[in-house]
Structure 1
Amino acid sequence: MARLDVNRTAEMEVFVRVVDAGGFSAAARALHLTPSAVSKLITRLELRLGARLINRNTRRLQLTAEGAAFYERAVTLLADLEEAERSVARSEVPSGRLRVNANVPFGTLYLLPALPEFLARYPAVTLDVVLTDKVVDLMEERMDVAVRAGPLKSSQLVARKLGDTRMVIVASPEYLARHGTPRGPADLDAHRCIGFCYLRQVEGWPLKAEEGREATVFRPQGHVLASDGETLRHMVLAGTGIARLGTFHVAADLLAGRLVPLLEDFNPGDTDPMHAVYLGQGGHMPARVRAYLDFLVEVVAPRFRRAAALEPARLLQNA
Structure 2
Amino acid sequence: MRPEHRDRTRTRRQRRTEDLGLQPALTSLRAGLTGPSAPAKHHEKDASAVTYKTERAITVGDITISVRTSDCTTLDLDVSTTGQVIVRGPRHTTEAQATGLVQRRRRWIYQQLARIAATTPNNPIKFLDTGEVFAVLGRPHRLRIVPDAEQTEPITRHQHPEMGDWLHMRHATVTNLHIARRTLINFYAKTAEDWLKIIRPRIAAFTSKTEIPLTSSTRLRTTRAHYHPTRGLTLHWATAQLDEPTLHELIHRALKLHTVTDTRQLDHALRNLWLGNLSTPSKHLLGKQPSSDSTCPDGSAPPTETALSFEHVHVKPVHTGTVAPSHRKATER
**TM-score bin (small chain):** under 0.3
TM-score (norm 1): 0.21
> Which structure shows the higher helix fraction?
1
TM-score (norm 2): 0.20
- Bigger Rg, which one: 2
